[in-house]
Amino acid sequence: MMKMPRRPAIDNSKDHVYFRPELNSFPPIRLPVYPRSTGLFTPLPGNLEIVKECEKNFVQVFWVTAGRMKMNFNGRIEFLYPGYVVYSLPQEPYSIEISPDGCQYRWVTFDGPDAAKFMLSFGYPRSAFQAGECPSRHFVNFEEHLMFRTPYSWRRMFCEICNILTIAGGTMDSMDTDNQKLYEILIYCREHFEDSRLNIKTLAEEFKLNRTTLLRIFREKMNTTPSEYLSLLRLQRALSLLHDPRFNIAEIAGKCGFRDCNYFCRFIKQNTGKRPSHLR
């Protein structure tokens, strides 16, 4: 009989909240957004929290660590399980209902004139999404620096906000089969992009993948294609070598995976707006 996955334990002895005392003003340092609060919370089973429109003037990111909760958000019902993330923007209403089995989650908040714009710039869905294991150490780092409040600490807290939001989009550390395969392909591309024969066809053959599968992995994981990724690697190398007087343009073209020097020049002009000779 197949074993059911073990549910993370709920431990309400560790509940806490940290926030900046000056909630109606910003720290004396310029930042894209301003760290506000963070914590770990275990609401009582069946607890209902209702936030009315315009009641909160900050972005709040929830990351469920154990149990289950139901959220009425943006006119739809969302069920959040361990590893799920959802965020609310300033002035947005929502309600949270805790399941009879309980729930535990971490959260972080930030505010400022551009807080909503900053959050939306990450491109995450406006609904709950699966993000994987909560990166607790980044929340803890945020908490520790909120106690110091030096200019360095405010900047570090901003960095931890970025870390948390970045990890919510997935990492290369996942045991996901596509992630592992993509990592192998990216390493191979970096080691062999100077070979002009390397393209989507030879990549698919090398890794025994259908071209359609290869395209899907790149589009889902990197929002690009294998051809575009190879072009980026070749462009990076070209821009570096064009500053090296030891090589002429034809030699640089060959070192970047281009057989045709004229095509190489057109490629550089198309991507930079300048001819290779103007970049030297």
Position with higher pLDDT, 102 vs 22: 102
Kindly tell me if the per-residue pLDDT of 174 is higher than 90: no
> What would the mean pLDDT of 142-167 be, rounded to a whole number?
95
Residues 20, 133 within the same domain: yes
Please report, for the domain that includes residue 106, its CATH number: 2.60.120.280
Q: Can you give the pLDDT at residue 4? A: 38
pTM listed for this prediction: 0.73
Q: Which of 106, 139, 168 marks a domain boundary?
A: 168
Q: Which of 150, 168, 186 marks a domain boundary?
A: 168
Q: Can you give the pLDDT at residue 91? A: 95
Q: Describe the crossing of helices 261-272 and 226-241 by its angle, rounded to 10 degrees.
A: 100
Kindly tell me if the per-residue pLDDT of 209 is higher than 60: yes
**Structural domain total, the chain:** 2
Kindly tell me if the per-residue pLDDT of 98 is higher than 80: yes
Q: Can you give the pLDDT at residue 23? A: 83
Residues 37, 124 within the same domain: yes
Whether residue 1 is contained in a domain is answered as no
Q: Can you give the pLDDT at residue 173? A: 59
> What would the mean pLDDT of 253-264 be, rounded to a whole number?
94
Tokens 């803890």 correspond to 140
Q: Can you give the pLDDT at residue 21? A: 84
Residues 182, 154 within the same domain: no
**Please, what is the average pLDDT of the chain?**
91
Beta bridge partners of 95: 50, 72
Residues 161, 189 within the same domain: no
User: Under a CB-based contact definition with an 8 Å cutoff, are residues 199 and 224 in contact?
Assistant: no
Residues 214, 237 within the same domain: yes
Residues 156, 195 within the same domain: no
CB-neighbour burial class of residue 63 (10 A; exposed 0-12, middle 13-18, buried 19+): buried
Q: H or E segment at 48?
A: strand 48-51
Kindly tell me if the per-residue pLDDT of 7 is higher than 50: no
> What would the mean pLDDT of 136-157 be, rounded to a whole number?
94
Kindly tell me if the per-residue pLDDT of 97 is higher than 80: yes
Residues 182, 164 within the same domain: no
Q: How far apart are the first and last CA of the chain?
A: 67
For residue 180, name the pLDDT band (cuts at 50, 70, 90). confident
Whether residue 216 is contained in a domain is answered as yes
Q: Can you give the pLDDT at residue 5? A: 43
Give the domain range for residue 273.
177-279
Residues 181, 163 within the same domain: no
